[in-house]
Structure 1
């Protein structure tokens, strides 16, 4: 392929724009906030599991406490009934039987109330654990929201710069021979770089030094010949800095 030396040199300007665009795209995909958001999301997921377990513990204790309250209430009702019968009087045997049952019911009520008190203390600790994990979830959600805000702000800035670079690329590419740009774009799509300056006898893309027959090939090529690197296949742009 033939192309004027000046057109080949301007490929470097086009490559500079494309390199900048590639770097901006990579930067946008690799923002530290993205990793931060993913880490916080994993943290929130783990905390949600912890919150569910804490909530289940509280619910189980509430159910047990409710059962004890019902049992205590039943004992109280039975005591009230016995006390009413005792107050109404009766035979000695009936009175002794009621007194014995009341004593038994008092012991049972005391045992139930002690057990309930222990459960209530456990419930207080479980509720505190639930509140603590909920607070940690809230804090993590706030951190994620802050990271998302920073990500969006930085991403918006990068997009603006990408749009600016893309706008500059169009006129630059349009001023170059269409077949040269087509070849350049094909190589760039395949390798990430379409053209590079030959500098001090080295390919500016793969950094391999030209020597022997390859060096002679490049040195002897006409100025308007589009030369490609034998190693990396990129277009090699020759200037006075090429050392040929």
Structure 2
């Protein structure tokens, strides 16, 4: 393949742009905030599990308290009914039976009120525990939100650079011969480097000094011949400091 030395030299600018684009992509994928967010995820999930458990316990305790309060209301209603019947009954036997039931209801209410106090204390304790978990979640959520904001800001800055560089890269590629670009892209896809400079006998594609045999072959090539690095497969761009 033939290409002017100027066009071949332009490939080095293209390769520099591609290298930088790869660096930007790597930086975007490996932002420190992203890594920190990944580390925090187990803590986020653990706190969420604790919050769900604490919420469930509190709901159960509140439901139990409502049942007890309902039972107290039922006992009060029966006690009022029996008291009214005592006032209206003329039968001593009925009065004695009602008074016995009233005594039983009074004991039942006393027992329920003791249980109610215990459950009320448990509800209060669970509310405090849930508030503590919610406080931890709020604090951790603020840290996560701050990290996400920093991550998005950094990613945005990198994207601005990537967009501008990609535009410049496209302009450079459009100005070069299609067959040269095709070869460059093919070598870059295969070996990771599409073009590299030859400096003092060393290929910058492999960072290895070429053998004298390889250098002799390159010396015999015309200036507009496109030559490939025997080690990296990249288009080898020659210049005044190539050591030929």
Query: Number of residue pairs matched?
Result: 244
> What SS does structure 2 have at the residue aligned with 1:79?
helix
> What SS does structure 1 have at the residue aligned with 2:208?
coil
Deviation at 1:21, TM superposition (A): 1.8
Stretch moving more, 13-22 or 176-185: 176-185
Q: Does structure 1 conserve the Cα–Cα contact (< 8 Å) formed by 2:196 and 2:235? A: yes
Question: 5+ residue gaps in structure 2?
Answer: none
Query: How far, CA to CA, are the matches of 2:183 and 2:3 in structure 1?
Result: 12
Match of 1:15 in 2: 15
Match of 1:119 in 2: 119
TM-score by length of 2: 0.83
Match of 1:66 in 2: 66
Query: How far, CA to CA, are the matches of 2:111 and 2:200 in structure 1?
Result: 95
Match of 1:164 in 2: 164
The answer on 1:128 being equivalent to 2:131 is no
Alignment of 1:50-65 (within 5 A): 50-65=50-65
Match of 2:150 in 1: 150
Match of 2:180 in 1: 180
Deviation at 1:37, TM superposition (A): 4.5
Deviation at 1:94, TM superposition (A): 4.8
> What SS does structure 2 have at the residue aligned with 1:74?
helix
Query: How far, CA to CA, are the matches of 1:170 and 1:92 in structure 2?
Result: 108
Match of 2:5 in 1: 5
The answer on 1:24 being equivalent to 2:24 is yes
Query: How far, CA to CA, are the matches of 2:176 and 2:81 in structure 1?
Result: 106
Query: How far, CA to CA, are the matches of 2:176 and 2:112 in structure 1?
Result: 92
Stretch moving more, 80-89 or 2-11: 80-89
Stretch moving more, 194-203 or 170-179: 170-179
Deviation at 1:68, TM superposition (A): 1.0
Match of 1:216 in 2: 216
Alignment of 1:71-110 (within 5 A): 71-87=71-87, 94-110=94-110
Query: How far, CA to CA, are the matches of 1:104 and 1:165 in structure 2?
Result: 88
Deviation at 1:42, TM superposition (A): 5.7
Instruction: Give the aligned CA root-mean-square deviation in angstroms.
Output: 2.8
Distance change >3 Å, CA 81–CA 217, structure 1 → 2: same
Question: 5+ residue gaps in structure 1?
Answer: none
Deviation at 1:46, TM superposition (A): 4.3
